[in-house]
Amino acid sequence: MSDKNYIPISCDLHSQLELAIMHQRKISIKIESNTAAYKITPLDIFIKSKSEYLKYLQDGHQDTDIIRLDKIKQIID
């Protein structure tokens, strides 16, 4: 999916991510291409090429990763 097809996420989902970042709280997310939940520590939200991204650290991994926000379908606290 190209950045031109970015679909803004709901304000509720965005707020949940911002709060988790502010409080350095681990959350689980489900993404559109998988039914499994991933345990992550969200680190930052940023904009690149008119799309929003989440920088995060996945449990058990040492390197950070990024995901486009419209790929996140659910947050599980």
CATH at residue 49: 2.30.30
Q: Are 67 and 53 in contact (CB under 8 A)?
A: yes
Q: In 3-state terms, what secondary structure has residue 12? A: helix
State pLDDT tens for residues 42-62: 999 999 999 999 999 998 899
Is a pLDDT exceeding 80 seen at residue 3?
no
Q: Are 52 and 46 in contact (CB under 8 A)?
A: yes
Amino acid identity at 11: C
Range of the domain at 72: 3-76
Count of the separate structural domains present in the chain: 1
State pLDDT tens for residues 14-51: 999 999 999 999 999 999 877 789 999 999 999 999 99
pTM of the model: 0.88
Binned at pLDDT 50, 70 and 90, residue 11 comes out as very high
